Amino acid sequence: MATMMQVNDWLDVLRREYLEDYVKRGGAAVKFAVPQDRPTQELLMYELEKAAEASGYVFVALDASNTKIHMIDKVFHALAKQLDWDSLAYDFLSLTLLESNYLVPEAQSDFSLAEVARLNGLGIGEMRAAMNSRMTDRIFRDYAMTQEFRIAMLRLCQAQLDPGDVQPSIPDSVKDWLRGDLRLISALKSALIFQKIGRHNGRHMLFSLFRWLHIVGKAGMVLTLDISRLIEAKKPSQPDGTIYYSSPAVLDGYEVLRQFIDGTDELGFALILVVAPPSFLLPDERRGLHAYDALRLRIWDDVRDRERPNPLSSLIRLCKEAPGDLPGGPR
């Protein structure tokens, strides 16, 4: 039997050790939380969202029942659908202007190249040249982000600053591309984007997104992945419109999670929390953690105190109020 920790006690550690400093400075962590029951999970999600937003993070929760967790590009698209890309572009432009000691219009609705130039006593051509130089340095030459992501963000920022610089259809096509809704990639040929987001580049796009959030002034992202559906083997007799996973798809899902763990050196400004039910820890060779040793060996706490949980471990078992035990001791 394994010792559990109270949700609020663990979140205090998570906030102090990760959110308030480590992740803000460019670090990354992948944690696995196993709540005792549904009320405990709901408390965890509610309190974590509050803590994340209070520390300046973007909080996004994805559920394997409506997002294909086993496909990294689908994870990215689901994230992209929850973000306001125009607001992020505006945040970048405003922050860049302020850091360069330029005045910025008070209202976002008044933001334009002409108005910014007027406020700062410059000609439109001079203001455009100054901002293009800064966008090139801070976006296009930031090689920590993948090239296509850099181009996409550059186009969105150009459209915010001076719509005349970009073809009218490009901003919407870029956002559709990010969200996985773009039908024909040829719509972005003039923007110098030539391939859709797929399993071959989805992970790099995701890592680029986390860095972009930092660049626009956010602390980073707190991403939660509820993988409870991966453990469910039986589909309902009547389709309910949600996603169910075959055994091979479950292993693909665990491989995506394994890649997150192994990619923490490349990853930055992100805390990824994987939330799973207690049955995830049972010795199920088909769907539980023991079905995929490449993941189990990375998070399983083989050596631990019998009475006290380690709040900094990769895998933590949580309860709502009084500590107790969960199934899933060492085999």
In a domain, 105, yes or no: yes
Q: Do both 56 and 95 map to the same domain?
A: no
Residue 246 lies in a domain: yes
Query: DSSP per residue over 261-311, as a string?
Result: HHTTTT--SEEEEEE--GGGGS--TTTSGGG-HHHHHHH---S--SSS--T
DSSP label of 4: -
Map residue 238 onto helix, strand or coil: coil
**Residue 55 is assigned to a structural domain of this protein:** yes
Question: Any idea what DSSP says for residue 254?
Answer: H
User: Which residues, in sequence order, are bridge partners of residue 221?
Assistant: 58, 270
Q: Which of 152, 173, 191 is the last residue of a domain?
A: 191
Residues 183 and 279 in one domain: no
Please tell me whether residues 56 and 89 are part of one structural domain. no
User: Both 316 and 273 in a single domain?
Assistant: yes
What is the distance between the alpha carbons of residues 261 and 298, in angstroms, rounded to a whole number? 8
Across the range 71-92, mean pLDDT stands at 97
Asked if the model's pLDDT at residue 325 lies above 50, the reply is no
Give the per-residue pLDDT at 233. 87
Contacts of 188 (CB under 8 A, 6+ apart): 170, 173, 174, 177, 182, 194
In a domain, 197, yes or no: no
Block residue for tokens 């490449």: 294
Q: How far apart are CA 211 and CA 207, in angstroms?
A: 7
Domain count of the fold of the chain? 2
Averaged pLDDT, 255-269: 95
pTM over 0.85: yes
DSSP secondary structure, 125-185, as one string:
HHHHHHHHHHHIIIIIT-TTS-HHHHHHHHHHHHHHH-GGGS-TTHHHHHHHHHHT--S-G
283-317: per-residue pLDDT in tens? 887 899 999 999 999 999 776 677 788 899 999 99
203 in a domain, yes or no?
no
pLDDT digits (tens, 9 = 90+) for 202-259: 999 999 999 999 999 999 999 999 999 999 988 888 888 999 999 999 999 999 999 9
In this prediction, residue 109 carries a pLDDT of 87
Here the tokens at position 76 are 């990215």
In a domain, 212, yes or no: no
With a cut of 60, say whether residue 44 has pLDDT above it: yes
**CATH code of residue 56:** 3.40.50
Are 60 and 91 found together in one domain?
Answer: no
Q: Are both 180 and 226 inside the same structural domain?
A: no
Same domain, 67 and 90: no
User: Can you tell me the distance from the alpha carbon of 281 to that of 295, in angstroms, rounded to the nearest whole number?
Assistant: 12
pLDDT at 59 over 50: yes
Number of neighbours of residue 329 by Cβ within 10 angstroms: 12
pLDDT-derived band at 53, boundaries 50, 70, 90: very high
**Whole-angstrom distance, CA of residue 119 vs CA of residue 130:** 15
Q: Do 137 and 112 fall into the same domain?
A: yes
The boundaries of the domain holding residue 294 are 2-71+220-326
The answer to whether residue 211 is domain-embedded is no
28 plus 126 within the same structural domain: no
Query: Do 259 and 322 fall into the same domain?
Result: yes
DSSP state of 19: I
From the centroid of its chain, how far is CA 211? 10
User: Based on the domain organization, do 265 and 242 belong to the same domain?
Assistant: yes
Last residue of a domain, one of 191, 210, 235: 191
**For residue 214, is it within any domain?**
no
In this structure, are 63 and 118 located in the same domain?
no
CB 276 within 8 A of CB 37: no
Rounded distance between C-alpha atoms, residue 291 and residue 279, angstroms? 12
Band (322; pLDDT cuts 50, 70, 90) = low
pLDDT exceeds 70 at position 89: yes
Looking at the predicted structure, is the pLDDT value of residue 320 above 90? no
In this prediction, residue 323 carries a pLDDT of 54
| Three-class secondary structure of residue 93 per DSSP | helix
Q: What is the mean pLDDT of the chain?
A: 93
